[in-house]
Amino acid sequence: MTYLSNIGAYFLMIVEMFRKPTKWRVMRELIFKDIDDLIINSLGIVSFIAFFVGGVVTIQTALNIDSPLIPKSLVGFATRQSIILEFAPTFISIIMAGKVGSFITSSIGTMRVTEQIDALEVMGINSLNYLVFPKTIALLLYPFLISIAMFLGILGGMAACVYGGFSTLEDYIVGIQTDFTPFHVTYAFIKTFVFAFLLATIPSYHGYYMKGGALEVGKASTTSFVWTSVFIILLNYLLTQMLLS
């Protein structure tokens, strides 16, 4: 019953988020601030993880190819497929659920605890529109972050492959060009947009409706990470089933 009521409240929050819009000149600033907080400030960690995980994927693939009958270009092919289809959109989104999600929950939750949300409401401001809407719009740039993760993942794979001596640069480049299906990139970006929406709204829900004090802000951040991850994984499965099978 609690789950159902939470799901209902979540959808009502989304509807409410679009009502009584905040003045554009204020909203514009909020959107830019959230782009900075959520996207730009995540560039470093996403780039770092993407580059090195790309390298690890390559090394593991290369080490598992024992047969001389399998071409060395398969290493590049497998790295590209893993990174574009799964690692960049899904794995990075789980990381972002921890980084960006807990930031959103704790910042909105702290505003709830310190009555800043009440202050907005008393002034007649739609606090959901003021707080959640700009985050949702800012995260429309999330695919930009994922594109960088894709590029750096493949680059990291190339570095690991060439400098680790697993195959030549030419083999790797042939591999990443082999059987390239543009729709796989489209599929990855469709997933990314859905995950971006989840990343903005689920942590906001947990922060906005939290009750209690500082300790509960921490608990709400943990809960929001768990539920954002659960829904990312679930929707990842559903979207893959719908778009690829």
Rule CB under 8 A: say whether 26 interacts with other proteins. Answer: yes
* Type and span of the H or E element at 201: helix 182-208
**Pairwise CA distance, residues 206 & 6, whole Å:** 10
Least distance in angstroms from the C-beta of 103 to other proteins: 12
Least distance in angstroms from the C-beta of 21 to other proteins: 12
Rule CB under 8 A: say whether 7 interacts with other proteins. Answer: no
**Pairwise CA distance, residues 68 & 73, whole Å:** 12
Q: What is the DSSP letter of 210?
A: -
Nearer to other proteins, 22 or 93 (CB): 22
Residue 88 contacts residue 80 (beta carbons within 8 Å): no
Rule CB under 8 A: say whether 9 interacts with other proteins. Answer: no
Nearer to other proteins, 125 or 159 (CB): 125
- From the list 21-29, 60-68, 171-179, 184-192, the region that binds other proteins by CB under 8 A is 21-29
Nearer to other proteins, 115 or 170 (CB): 115
Among positions 158-197, residues that touch other proteins (CB under 8 A) are none
Least distance in angstroms from the C-beta of 123 to other proteins: 6
Least distance in angstroms from the C-beta of 115 to other proteins: 4
- From the list 19-27, 142-150, 211-219, 230-238, the region that binds other proteins by CB under 8 A is 19-27
**Pairwise CA distance, residues 208 & 127, whole Å:** 9
Nearer to other proteins, 138 or 154 (CB): 138
Q: Where are the beta strands (DSSP E) in the chain?
A: none
Nearer to other proteins, 149 or 210 (CB): 210
Which pair of structure tokens corresponds to residue 7?
Answer: 């799901």
Among positions 90-149, residues that touch other proteins (CB under 8 A) are 110, 114-116, 118-119, 121-125
Rule CB under 8 A: say whether 23 interacts with other proteins. Answer: yes
Residue 112 contacts residue 165 (beta carbons within 8 Å): no
Helix ranges restricted to H, 164-181: 169-177
Residue 141 contacts residue 147 (beta carbons within 8 Å): no
Rule CB under 8 A: say whether 36 interacts with other proteins. Answer: no
Sign of the dihedral defined by the CA atoms of residues 23, 25, 30, 31, in that order? positive
Binding residues for other proteins, how many (CB under 8 A)?
Answer: 16
Least distance in angstroms from the C-beta of 100 to other proteins: 16
Angle between helices 102-113 and 182-208 (to 10 degrees): 20
**Pairwise CA distance, residues 171 & 53, whole Å:** 20
Q: Which residues bind other proteins (CB under 8 A)?
A: 20, 22-23, 25-26, 110, 114-116, 118-119, 121-125
